[in-house]
Amino acid sequence: MGMEPGGVEWRIDDAPVPYEQALAAMETRVAAIRDGTASELVWLLEHPPIYTAGTSARPQDLLDPSRLPVYRTGRGGQYTYHGPGQRIAYVMLDLEKWGRDVHCHVWRLEEWVIATLGRFNVKGERRDGRVGVWVAGRDEREDKIAAIGVRVRRWVTYHGVALNVDPDLGHYRGIVPCGIDPAASGHGVTSLARLGITASMPEVDMALRATFEEMFGTGPICRAD
């Protein structure tokens, strides 16, 4: 644990945290932030293998319902996979301080991931119409390396970023990830490990913390359209 100069607390859980437990903890913290009884929080963790369905999830995109547990969640987005080897960053910030602009908040999260990947010499990129962070590969293929889904309650954010460090990518075959069919679009998912980057979770955490200040340490910043 620790505090950034701006008063944002950092928490890291080493053991996988059950999804329902994490969701309950986030909701409690968000209420406390809004009431002024707790500081803002960045929570780094992993989940046991699960699928989560965002508010835009389509039933036909769950290809293998029996493969893993499925949780409905109030975050934006569609189906995604969470599991060991994926760094989840739940970001609970008060947009009364950072600017009442959810699109800008998503832009900052994307920029944060892009800066973090840069620490490992990986070029993360945005794509119009596709939330998250992408890596351009060979033969014009583009693979998603980080998913982003947020929810805002009384202008306090929660949920956040899922960065693939070294998860079991085979589990993505049970869903249409984020509504983008790899067979139809040519877009898939990737990880630092698949890109040949050997990075431990503590090293990724150090990079996330170092680059957080670049995106969130100077007040409202946004170059989103």
- The per-residue pLDDT of the chain, averaged, comes to 89
Q: Is the pLDDT of residue 22 over 90?
A: yes
Distance from C-alpha of 197 to C-alpha of 136, rounded to nearest angstrom = 15
Tens digit of pLDDT for each residue in 180-194?
665 545 568 999 999
Considering only CA atoms, which of 160, 44, 40 is closest in space to residue 109?
160
Tens digit of pLDDT for each residue in 152-171?
999 999 999 999 999 999 99
The pLDDT value given to residue 133: 94
Distance from C-alpha of 187 to C-alpha of 84, rounded to nearest angstrom = 23
Burial of 137 (0-12, 13-18, 19+ CB in 10 A): middle
Tens digit of pLDDT for each residue in 127-156?
877 778 999 876 667 899 999 989 999 999
Mean pLDDT of 111-131: 91
Q: Is the pLDDT of residue 3 over 60?
A: no
Tens digit of pLDDT for each residue in 43-65?
999 999 999 988 888 899 999 99
Distance from C-alpha of 28 to C-alpha of 191, rounded to nearest angstrom = 31
The pLDDT value given to residue 5: 44
- Residues written for the chain: 225
The pLDDT value given to residue 213: 85
Distance from C-alpha of 215 to C-alpha of 108, rounded to nearest angstrom = 6
With vertex at residue 90, the alpha carbon angle to CA 88 and CA 92, rounded to the nearest 5 degrees, is 170
The pLDDT value given to residue 220: 53
Count the alpha carbons within 13 Å of 130 in the hemisphere toward its beta carbon: 21
The pLDDT value given to residue 218: 62
* Domains, the chain: 2-216 (3.30.930.10)
- DSSP secondary structure string for all residues of the chain: -EE-TTS-EEEE-SS---HHHHHHHHHHHHHHHHHTSS--EEEEE---SEEEE-TT--GGGBS-TTTS-EEE-SSSSSEEEE-TTEEEEEEE-BHHHH-S-HHHHHHHHHHHHHHHHHTTT---EEETTEEEEEEE-GGG-EEEEEEEEEEEETTEEEEEEEEESS--GGGGGGB-GGG--HHHHS-EE--TTTTT----HHHHHHHHHHHHHHHHTTS------
Active site members? 178
Confidence of residue 178 (pLDDT cuts 50, 70, 90): low
Q: Is the pLDDT of residue 72 over 60?
A: yes
